[in-house]
Structure 1
Amino acid sequence: MRFNKLKISADAASRLRSIRQRTGLTPNLLCRVAVMLSLEEGPVGDTRAPDEHGQEFNAYTLTGDFNGLITALLRFVEETEAGQAPLTNDELVARFRSHIHRGVSTLSVRAKSPADLARLAMAA
């Protein structure tokens, strides 16, 4: 999956600010956790992509050295589990954004403190 910059929805950006205040983690790390939570829930499929009026991330800031791993997991969930044909790069990026959005929504409910994030990590 290749992209230079990625904008998340305004709703996700707002939720990330709130989660950051409660946990002390930066938005890029929270997005990584959010993606993993969302991938655990299964494919997002062809759902309508959220708006792009929120925070913008550079690719490396968002995925770091884990871009290959995140791409492989995304392909596994979206193509293999969903029985989908190979996705184009644009489709992968759109689904990545959808996973961030869904995962941030889940994280906003489940992460009220740093201890909650530790419990999420231990449960995985």
Structure 2
Amino acid sequence: MHISKFRISSAATGQVRIVAQKAGLTPNLVCRMAMLTSFEAGPVPGTSPEVQDGQEFNAYTLFGDFQPIFLDMLRFVEFGSEPVDVEDSVLLDRLRLHIDRGIRQLSVRIKSPADAAELLAGSI
């Protein structure tokens, strides 16, 4: 699967802006951190939120050269190590859910650039 554009929910968009401002990071880096934070917590339950009004990212801006790695991690977290045939739309929905959950987690943990640095260093 290859993604060219990716839209997050409007709720996540607002939280990404707030966390990005507090952390002194760009929204795409905050979304990457949110994905990884959520991946650590395991599979995410639920259905994907409405994304019509959310921020849209160019996939390269969001993932960089690491798009295949992020998508493989998503598959592993959601479906385990066994190969599973899943539709691209389902994977994108799961990814949105991970960003939503991860940004909620980050909004509690990051209050300053120092908090972001500590999180990236694995201290918090």
> Is contact 1:79-1:86 (8 Å) kept?
no
Superposed counterparts of 1:31-42, under 5 Å: 31-42=31-42
> Is contact 2:22-2:112 (8 Å) kept?
yes
Tell me, what secondary structure is at the counterpart of 1:57? Answer: strand
Question: Over residues 19-68 of structure 1, what are the superposed CA-to-partner deviations in whole Å (9 max), with x where a residue is unaligned?
Answer: 122111000010000000000000014x1101112111111111111101
Deviation of 1:86 (Å):
3.2
Deviation of 1:87 (Å):
2.1
Matched, 1:99 2:112: no
What's the TM-score once normalised by structure 2's chain length? 0.90
Give, as a single letter, the amino acid of the residue that structure 2 aligns with 1:116.
Answer: D
Alpha-carbon RMSD? 1.8
Runs (4+) off by over 4 Å: none
Deviation of 1:2 (Å):
2.1
Q: Structure 2 CA distance, aligned partners of 1:28 and 1:86?
A: 28
Q: Structure 2 CA distance, aligned partners of 1:3 and 1:24?
A: 27
Deviation of 1:18 (Å):
0.9
Match of 1:27 in 2: 27
Question: Over residues 83-111 of structure 1, what are the superposed CA-to-partner deviations in whole Å (9 max), with x where a residue is unaligned?
Answer: 89432221111111111111111111111
Q: Structure 2 CA distance, aligned partners of 1:113 and 1:69?
A: 28
Match of 2:57 in 1: 57
Moved more, 3-12 or 70-79: 3-12
Tell me, what secondary structure is at the counterpart of 1:44? Answer: coil
Work out the percentage of aligned pairs sharing the same amino acid.
47
Give, as a single letter, the amino acid of the residue that structure 2 aligns with 1:30.
Answer: V
In structure 1, stretches of 5+ residues that fail to align are: none
Give, as a single letter, the amino acid of the residue that structure 2 aligns with 1:42.
Answer: G
Tell me, what secondary structure is at the counterpart of 2:80? Answer: helix
What's the TM-score once normalised by structure 1's chain length? 0.90
In structure 2, stretches of 5+ residues that fail to align are: none
Q: Structure 2 CA distance, aligned partners of 1:2 and 1:101?
A: 21
> Is contact 1:9-1:55 (8 Å) kept?
yes
- Size of the alignment, in residue pairs? 122
